[in-house]
A = this chain, B = another copy of it.
Amino acid sequence: MSLDSHMSNPDEPTKNNHAGSAATKATPTIDVEKPTLGLGFGVSVITRRWKREDLLKRGSLITRGLALLFSFLSFIIMASNKHGGWNFDDYEEYRYLLAIAILSTLYTGGQALRHLNCIWKGKQIFGQRISALVDFLADQMMAYLLISSTSSAISLTNRMREVGDDSFTDSSAAAICMSFFAFLSLALTAMVSGFKFSTQSYI
């Protein structure tokens, strides 16, 4: 805006003098906006911000993808865990792990699709602030559920392994590992969502 008024000065000096009162009243506005108008400084701030937002978007998409992968693996390994006469279905800890793995697969899959859709088409279903808030809260809750199911299954498997070590406990341990990695990815995602929630909608 200050650029425009500077450019119009040499063309219409008399008109500008006539409108002196309006021009002087407009100065404070220009002063307030100066930081973003200092061209080099403003551009560097904006590009830095774009880069950071891009990094956050990519980072959150990658950790979401990893969480999807790991929870899917945990779900598959636990669901097929029937070895040597043992069945995962007889233990409520394993059923809990399976249920949370399925829930986490659906949640992270849906979230990844939504974010991809948002990146490709630039459309958002909800407002940006609402969506960042929901991400932040839901990621945290899903991470709590994952660590809870993982811990309870670890407790059971550890006790089983004190008696004997076979392919049933091995594949339980594998499912637990995958579930723990899914938790780690989702905890990272929750932190990135927190940062996104904290940095968006300003400037």
Binding site for B on A (CB under 8 A): 1, 4-5, 8, 12, 14-16, 18-19, 21-23, 25-26, 28-30, 32-33, 92-93, 136-137, 140, 143-144, 147-156, 158-159, 187, 190-191, 194, 197-198, 202
Verify A136–B194 contact, CB threshold 8 A: yes
The one of B1, B158, B191 that contacts A28, using a Cβ cutoff of 8 Å: B1
Per CB-CB distance, the 4 closest pairs between chain A and chain B, nearest first, are A19-B19, A198-B198, A152-B155, A151-B151
- Supplied contacts A26-B26, A144-B187, 8 more A-B pairs, CB within 8 Å: A15-B22, A19-B22, A137-B191, A143-B144, A144-B144, A149-B151, A152-B152, A198-B198
| Bound-complex Cα distance A29 to B28 (A) | 11
